[in-house]
Amino acid sequence: MPDRLHARASHATVLVIDPSLADRAQICECLNQLPDIKVIAAGEAELALQIVREARPSMILLDSAQKGIDGISLTRSIRSWEQAGSNAAYAPWTPIVFLSSVNDENLLAQGILAGGDDFICKPVSEVVLLAKVRAMLRIAARQREICDVHRQLKDIATLDSLTGIPNRRYFDDTLAAEWKRCLRTETPLSIVLSDVDFFKQFNDIYGHQAGDACLKAVASTLSESLFRVEDSVARYGGEEFVAILPGTDASGAYAVAERMRQSARELCIPHERGIGGQLSCSFGVASTHPRADKAPQQLLRFADAGLYAAKRAGRNRVEINSDVVGCN
């Protein structure tokens, strides 16, 4: 890839997009005076877009005159790509500074409206260029730190503080999203709702610290019982856990629940009031093909009914709610 990499051990990457080979070389030579940065250069808009997607530069210096696509259109394309990501709400902002040999106020205004952040006139002053790059990289670094904090806060908000697995909020959001997706793809959706048997008695006998350790162990083994990345387990509340199994029918969900039941049993946690002197869990399974005239909470209610059926039948077992399964 010609004229692409000017390697240096880097904490930040600056992409220079300029159709002039001489101008690119001059700007890159100037930027190489800055410590701890990597400079990447491109002479064509198409190559520049590819580099943006692959290298995700910390900053972009963009000549407003490009071959095939003008600098303003290229800026719009970069901003659109940034916002199209799966985490657009926390997408890092990449500073874009225009370079132009034409001192045109209208061009400057159009560039800013398109998503640009600053403007440098050509011929480029070395002092001005280095000062603006330092400033933009400093601002971009702080903005990325803010994005990281937002992501961490989001993770904290959707994780159960005791067990470390997703919490009820995560479950509610994920169930609503998977319901819509399975409705669109016409695929089944299953839920497995579980409860630690005789957990109140466990706390009374062994204490709350032992109870917390028990819940952590159960959460971990239930999560490890899932083999597909699209499946997830959340703490529903207290000693209850719930699994969402998109694209899984009733028989598949039953098999997952049974694997979970055995895994919980194999923890071999002593419980003198439990089934056979050991800790166990009960499971309710519900499965359906989502419909526009139904709500995901109905599926949850059917799983809850299955769980209570498992408890009435003696605990340490899996029960499918046939009412909802029959509606598939």
**Active-site amino acid positions:** 239
SS3 282: strand
CA distance 121 to 142: 26
In the sheet that holds 12-17, the strands lie side by side as 5-6, 37-42, 12-17, 59-63, 96-100, 118-121
Q: Which residue type, as a one-letter code, is found at position 278?
A: Q
Q: Which residue type, as a one-letter code, is found at position 137?
A: L
| 147 burial level (CB within 10 Å; 0-12, 13-18, 19+) | middle
SS3 51: helix
| 289 burial level (CB within 10 Å; 0-12, 13-18, 19+) | middle
Cβ-Cβ contacts under 8 Å for 60 (sequence gap 6 or more):
14, 15, 17, 52, 78, 94, 95, 96, 97
Buried b / exposed e across 16-43, counting CB within 10 Å, b at 16+?
bbbbeeebbebbbebbeeeeebbbbbbb
CA distance 288 to 241: 20
CA distance 83 to 74: 14
